[in-house]
Amino acid sequence: MAATDLDTWFVREVLPLEAALMQFLRRSWRNRADVDDLCQEVYVRVYEAAQKEIPDPARPFVFAVARNLIINRVRREHIVPIETFGDLDALAIAADEPGPDRNAIAREELRRLQAALDRLPPRCREAVVLKKIEGLSRKEIAQRMNIGEDTVHRHLTEGRLALADLLYAGKPDPDWTI
């Protein structure tokens, strides 16, 4: 898949906002079970809007979409959860702080990746490590772990899913296990 400008923009500008977005959605919407879906819905709307014109800067736009989504949901469902409106206006959009230096960022990223890796279920972690760190082929992974290639596929799929949640949402989803 050739990455388009739009896709590159989405990955670079929007995905890193996920942890903050999830936090906002969790605060604004009472039913935690809906939050993943709301986040996904925000992404869809942002992506579709960006197909026409890429919003710059991204952050206020993404949060405006999230806010509208919540407001519409509240109207549609004819319920006003007590906490819902509290935070909407107090949507703190932190000014960009001076960034830490590059080494610090690189190290932080590696720590985060390690932490994410540590939180994978053991067999899944093993498969991801063999793939990403040891650079083994799927066949070799299957041999090393003494499992079939379909099981390797399952572990690696699970690993992908979990890493995306850990790296972007910043917290594990307790139901990763496929």
Partner 1 sequence: MNDLEPGLSPPSAKAIRLEAAMWHDRREREGWTQNDEIAFQSWLNEAAAHKVAFLRVDAAWARADRLNALRDAGRDAPFKSLSRFRSAAIRITVAGITLAAVGFAAVPYFSKSHIRTYSTAVGGHKVLALSDGSRVELNTDSSLRVEITGKRRVVWLDRGEAYFKVRADAVRPFIVKVGDHRITDIGTAFDIRRDEDRLKVFVLEGRIQLAGEGNGSRLLKDGDVAVANGSAVIVNRETERALANELGWQRGVLVFDNVTLAEAASEFNRYSHDKIVIPDPSAAKITIGATLPSNDVSAFVRVAQKIFGLHAERRGDNIVISR
Binding footprint of partner 1 on the chain (CB under 8 A): 1, 7, 10-11, 15, 36-37, 39-41, 43-44, 47-48, 98-101, 103-104, 106-107, 109-111, 113-114, 116-118, 125-126, 128-130, 132-135, 138-139, 149, 153, 156-158, 160-161, 163-164, 167-168, 173, 175, 178
Nearest residue (CB) to partner 1, 86 versus 172? 172
Nearest residue (CB) to partner 1, 92 versus 133? 133
CB of 118 to partner 1, least distance (A): 5
Q: Which token pair is 88?
A: 């909407």
Q: Which token pair is 173?
A: 């989803």
Separation CA 27–CA 82 (nearest Å): 11
Q: What angle do CA 68, 21, 110 make, to 5 degrees?
A: 160
CB of 64 to partner 1, least distance (A): 17
> What b/e string do you get for 21-42 counting C-beta neighbours within 10 Å, with b at 16 or more?
bbebbbbbbeeeeebeebbebb
